[in-house]
Amino acid sequence: MVNNKEDRVFHAEDGIHTDFKEKMTYGDYLQLHTLLASQKRLSTHHDEMLFIIIHQVSELWLKLIIHEIQAAITAIQEGKLQASFKMLARVSKTQSQIIQAWDVLSTLTPAEYMEFRDSLGNASGFQSYQYRLVEFVLGYKTPYILKIYEKDPEVYQVLRNAYYAPGLYDVAIIALAKQGLTINPDILQRDYSKTYEKEVSVEKAWLTVYQNTNHYWELYQLAEKLVDIEDWFQQWRFRHMKTVERIIGFKSGTGGSSGVHYLKKVLDHYFFPELWEIRSKL
C-alpha cells in the first residue's frame, strides 16, 4: 500500500524527468561513482570505514575553507570588504561542521582503532596538505612542513606559492593602512614566508578601530570575522586533541609526531594576536 501511494504521488508530478540516457544526472554532476568508490579499506575491520569517511569529508570541507579564504584575500586586496564578509562567514560555518565530525569519530573506541591502526603505516592527518594550506593562508608558515610534500610536485608548488604569499591577516593589516591608520612600514613590507608576530603599531590601529567603530565600521566587521575564524579554529584544534587523547591516549602519532603533546602545543598559537590582546585594553 505504501508503494502504491508513493507511485501515485510520483506520477502526479508530470514534470519529473525519468529518461537520462542522453542527459546528465545528479550522480554524474557530483561524480558519485568516483566519490563513493574512494573508501578503500586496508583491513577487514568494520570501523575503518568510519575512519576513512570522516577524514575524507573533512578534506572536502577544508577545500571549501581554502576556496573561501583565498577569495576573501583577493576581495580585501581589491577593497571589497563587504564581499569578503560573506566568504569569511561561510568559513566559520564550515568550521563548525568539521568540529562536529570529531563527535562522530569519537564513537571509535581504542580497542576498535587498534584493530586496523597498523594498516595506516606512517600515513597521518599530520600530512594533510590542505590543513597546511589553511595554516599558510591564515599566515602560519612552518618551513619544515614543505619537505613532506616534495614527493608530489603539483602539491608542493601549490603550498610553496601560498608559503610566500600574503595571508589573510597580512591583507587585513594592509587594509588598516589604506584607511589611514598608522602601520609600521616594516610590517607592510615584511617577508610573508615568516610567521607573523604581534607588533605595536598593528595593535594600536586595531584599538583605534574598536574605539571608533562607527568611523571604521567595515574594519570593525572585518576584525570580528577574523576573531570568529580563529575562535572556531581553536575549538577544532581542541576537539582534535581530545579525540586523539580519547582514542590513543599519549601514544605517538602514526606520522611520527608526539600526538597529544604536539596538539596541545599548537593550541597556544594565535593567527591574529592583536585582535585578542586589545580585548584587555578596551
Summarised one tens digit per residue, pLDDT across range 7-59 is 665 566 677 777 778 789 999 999 999 999 999 999 999 999 999 999 999 99
Does 28 map to a domain? Answer: no
When mean pLDDT is compared across 3-12, 119-128, 242-251, the lowest value belongs to: 3-12
Q: In 3D, which of 90, 131, 88 has the Cα closest to residue 227?
A: 88
Does 121 map to a domain? Answer: yes
Does 37 map to a domain? Answer: no
Indicate the annotated binding residues: 51-55, 113, 117, 240, 254
pLDDT at 254 over 90: no
pLDDT at 251 over 60: yes
Domain span at residue 89 reads 45-248+256-278
Does 36 map to a domain? Answer: no
Contacts of 166 (CB under 8 A, 6+ apart): 73, 174, 192
Top-confidence residue, 255 or 89? 89
**Cα 222 to Cα 85, 138, 186, 275, distances in angstroms:** 7, 14, 22, 11
pLDDT value for 7: 64
Question: To the nearest whole number, what is the mean pLDDT of the chain?
Answer: 91
Does 18 map to a domain? Answer: no
pLDDT value for 11: 61
- Residues 254 and 247: their CA atoms lie apart, in Å, by 13
Q: Read off the pLDDT of each residue in 165-189 and give the average, rounded to a whole number.
A: 97
- Residues 282 and 271: their CA atoms lie apart, in Å, by 20
The three-point CA angle 191-196-197 to 5° equals 125
Indicate the annotated binding residues for heme: 240
For a pLDDT cut of 90, what percent of the chain falls above it?
76
Residue 203, domain CATH: 1.20.58.480
pLDDT value for 272: 97
pLDDT value for 145: 83
Q: 3-class secondary structure for 109-174?
A: CHHHHHCCHHHHCCCCHHHCHHHHHHHHHHCCCCHHHHHHHCCCHHHHHHHHHHHHCCCHHHHHHH
CB atoms within 10 A of CB 26: 8
Q: Read out DSSP for 223-253? A: HHHHHHHHHHHHHHHHHHHHHHHHHHTTPPP
- Residues 206 and 90: their CA atoms lie apart, in Å, by 23
Q: How many domains does the chain have?
A: 1
- Residues 171 and 174: their CA atoms lie apart, in Å, by 5
Q: Among all chains, which residue has been given the C-alpha cell 584575500? A: 73
> What's the pLDDT tens digit per position in 100-127?
999 999 999 999 999 999 898 888 877 8
Q: Indicate the pLDDT class of residue 76, thresholds 50, 70 and 90.
A: very high
| 153 within 8 A of 161, measured Cβ to Cβ | no
Q: Read off the pLDDT of each residue in 228-239 and give the average, rounded to a whole number.
A: 95
Does 189 map to a domain? Answer: yes
Does 105 map to a domain? Answer: yes
Read off the pTM: 0.90
> Would you put residue 121 in left (φ > 0), alpha (ψ -120 to 50) or beta?
left
Does 15 map to a domain? Answer: no
Contacts of 74 (CB under 8 A, 6+ apart): none
DSSP state of 255: T
Indicate the annotated binding residues for substrate: 51-55, 113, 117, 254
